[in-house]
Each structure stands twice: as C-alpha cells, then as structure tokens.
Amino acid sequence: MERMSPSGRCSSGELPIPNNALAVDLGCTTDENGYVVVDSMKRTTVSGVWAIGNVTSMRSNMSMAITDGVVVAVDCTTVLLDRDWNATN
C-alpha cells in the first residue's frame, strides 16, 4: 500500500515469515510471530537443539548470524565435552 506524504511516498509491507518448519517439527517453541524462542546461548526449548539467524529474530542479519554461530559452536562444544567428561568419571 502506498500513501502520499508531504515529503514523498511511504510504502509498507508485510513482516517476513520465518522458515521455522524444522524447528516446529522438532518441538521447539515459537513466539507469536513464528520466531524460534532461544536463550542467550541460542538454545531452544528442545534439549540439544540450537537456532540462529533470521529464524530467531526479525532483526537478524548476516553478521549477527555469524556471531550467533560462534556462540552456538562454543556452547555445543562445551555440552559435548561435559557429556564426555561425565561419562568417563
């Protein structure tokens, strides 16, 4: 929809719809807009499942997704090392 304003045109569009099908199939919780709910370490509500990028936030972009990927890599490694450590001790 376009409207004329004193300074020119103003256009509006629909909000993007996250591609959350895999997360939903795995049982992850989504918010009212369909974004996958994650904590500060990008863990979803399903144990062993992390989510990053524009499936978690409308404000996400490539640089944020890369940063989130590093956070997930560190957290995933920590989880796996803790599991291995607990299994051997």
Does residue 42 sit within a domain? yes
pTM: 0.74
Domain with residue 52: its CATH number is 3.50.50.60
For 40-78, the pLDDT digits (tens) are 999 999 999 999 998 999 887 888 989 999 999 999 999
**DSSP-derived 3-state class of residue 64:** helix
Does residue 77 sit within a domain? yes
In which domain, by residue range, is 74 found? 17-88
Does residue 2 sit within a domain? no
> Cβ contacts of residue 20 below 8 Å, gap of 6+?
28, 30, 34, 35, 36, 55
Inform me whether the pLDDT recorded for 6 exceeds 70: no
In the chain, alpha helices (H):
21-26, 62-88
Does residue 69 sit within a domain? yes
According to the model, what pLDDT value does residue 11 have?
Answer: 66
For 19-44, the pLDDT digits (tens) are 999 999 999 999 999 999 999 999 99
Does residue 46 sit within a domain? yes
Does residue 26 sit within a domain? yes
- How many distinct structural domains can be found in the chain? 1
Does residue 22 sit within a domain? yes
According to the model, what pLDDT value does residue 87 have?
Answer: 75
